[in-house]
Amino acid sequence: MITQAERERIIALIQREVVPAIGCTEPVAVALCVAKATEVLGMCPETITARLSANILKNAMGVGIPGTGMIGLPIAIALGALKGKSEYGLEVLKDITPESVEEGKQMIAGQGIKIELKDGIEEKLYIEVVCLADGDEATAIISGGHTNFVYAERNGQVLFDHRTKTGAEADTEDVDLNLSKVYDFATTTPLDEIRFILEAKRLNLQAAERSFKGNYGHELGKTLQSSRSEQSIMGSNTFTHILSYTSAACDARMAGAMIPVMSNSGSGNQGISATLPVLIFAEENGKSEEELIRALMLSHLTVIYIKQSLGRLSALCGCVVAATGSSCGITWLMGGNYEQVAYAVQNMIANLTGMICDGAKPSCSLKVTTGVSTAVLSAVMAMENRCVTSVEGIIDEDVDQSIRNLTRIGSQSMNETDRVVLDIMTHKRC
């Protein structure tokens, strides 16, 4: 039984982790850090140096920056200085205009922006920005979480220093989750206390619908929705609608559409993948608003739980985690009990553990689609009481141990994979 105090801590955790974001989270987080450093400096910087962890660099290199029609970090950094407001958090770039984009291009042309790999750090999520102007210098550092400022100084005067703890991970350590607790919370909490999760429905559905009307990224969602693809190849049904809506929202986000999505644990794609499959299944199967709210909460909190031990950034593709959440939500909507929800998790882990993250980019929509298609298949298997057994691969009889096995692989053993991926990405001739 979850106590009221524990329930309140879980709700506070969800409200910290499920938040709106515009654009891919990593370049936006860099822009946020630049905005803060600029505010500390008190004037527009003449030069900006961004020192980034490998995972931030990997995920910020190949994505569109909202409202710019451009790809990559330099324009995000320039606009963070010119128009960014740190109080906006992950919506830091929402005030940009065509005029400010042109100013940003001029700043880039002036070669005042430097981007470096930060060596000698253990944090996978680390952003350090140094701004200079008129002989003054300001530094801001984000670490542990995409909006978690741990350090700021101006001209050697330290304004705050919280670097002794690793940011957001430290904020969540008082909430001890397991899958059973996640399930109980989602299915028993008074509805009015968790109704706020419907905002994820609104924002992420809006992103998908915008994508269907435009031309974003590889247009996977639009392609899947086309009559030729749906009717002649895959059919038009709940399954294909889940794929098209989820990939469409991802298309728009990764291509730099100026539209917010509801993120989860610092990732918009995770928020999309935890939301839209559950929503589409619920709507097309006549589920009530209460059922939708509880299924969405089960999905999003499962993602948060897994990310607690995986970490915010790793070599493991985030869609593995997010689609595991949506598989839980879909299983519950199918009438599944706790045991069957656990089966869905086991099936997901057995199938998608090896999917690597090779950076945020438009083709993430393909991985998202792979993840959510597996989510549906895992749910169907679970409802037939079919589950990958503990004699197979990394699966354990205890579902929470299986999750720890997954996150151990993603956070520890794939570190060398991460280094090789980054090396390949930074040495391509393109």
pLDDT of 173 above 60: no
**Contacts with 242 (C-beta within 8 Å, 6 or more apart), sequence order:** 276, 277, 280, 281, 372, 373, 376
pLDDT of 105 above 90: yes
Q: How far apart are CA 226 and CA 247, in angstroms?
A: 13
Phi/psi class of residue 143: alpha, beta or left (left: φ > 0; alpha: ψ in -120 to 50)?
A: beta
Q: What percentage of the chain carries pLDDT values higher than 70?
A: 96
- DSSP helix/strand/coil, 307: helix
CB-based contact 29:142 (threshold 8 Å): yes
The domains of the chain are located at 22-169, 175-426
Q: What percentage of the chain carries pLDDT values higher than 90?
A: 70
pLDDT of res. 167? 42
pLDDT of res. 62? 81
pLDDT of 166 above 60: no
Task: Give the architecture-level CATH label for domain 22-169.
Answer: 2-Layer Sandwich (3.30)
Residue with tokens 């470096």: 116
CB-based contact 137:128 (threshold 8 Å): no
pLDDT of res. 174? 65
pLDDT tens, position by position, 388-409: 999 999 999 999 999 999 999 9
pLDDT of res. 165? 52
Please tell me which residue, 355 or 41, carries the higher pLDDT value.
Answer: 41
Rounded (10°) CA dihedral 29, 100, 271, 375: -110
**Contacts with 220 (C-beta within 8 Å, 6 or more apart), sequence order:** 247, 248, 250, 251, 365, 366, 369
Span of 54-68, 195-209, 360-374 with lowest mean pLDDT: 54-68
pLDDT tens, position by position, 66-92: 888 888 899 999 999 999 999 999 899
pLDDT of 263 above 70: yes
pLDDT of res. 320? 82
* Dihedral sign (CA 349, 352, 354, 358): negative
pLDDT of res. 79? 96
The CATH class of 175-426 is: mainly alpha
When pLDDT is averaged across residues 358-369 and rounded to a whole number, the result is 89
pLDDT tens, position by position, 203-241: 999 999 999 999 988 999 988 887 565 556 777 899 999
Q: How far apart are CA 300 and CA 17, in angstroms?
A: 9
pLDDT of res. 168? 42
Q: Which residues of 213-238 are buried (b: 16+ CB within 10 A; e: fewer)?
A: ebebbbbbbbbbbeeebbeeeeeeee
Please state the pTM of the whole predicted model.
Answer: 0.90
The overall average pLDDT reported for the chain is: 91
When pLDDT is averaged across residues 329-350 and rounded to a whole number, the result is 97
Tell me how far CA of residue 90 lies from CA of 47, 316, 354, in angstroms: 23, 23, 29
Q: How far apart are CA 368 and CA 395, in angstroms?
A: 23
pLDDT of res. 147? 92
Tokens for 224? 């899947």
Residue with tokens 């969405």: 296
CB-based contact 144:56 (threshold 8 Å): no
When pLDDT is averaged across residues 315-337 and rounded to a whole number, the result is 94
pLDDT of 170 above 50: no
Tokens for 127? 């952003």
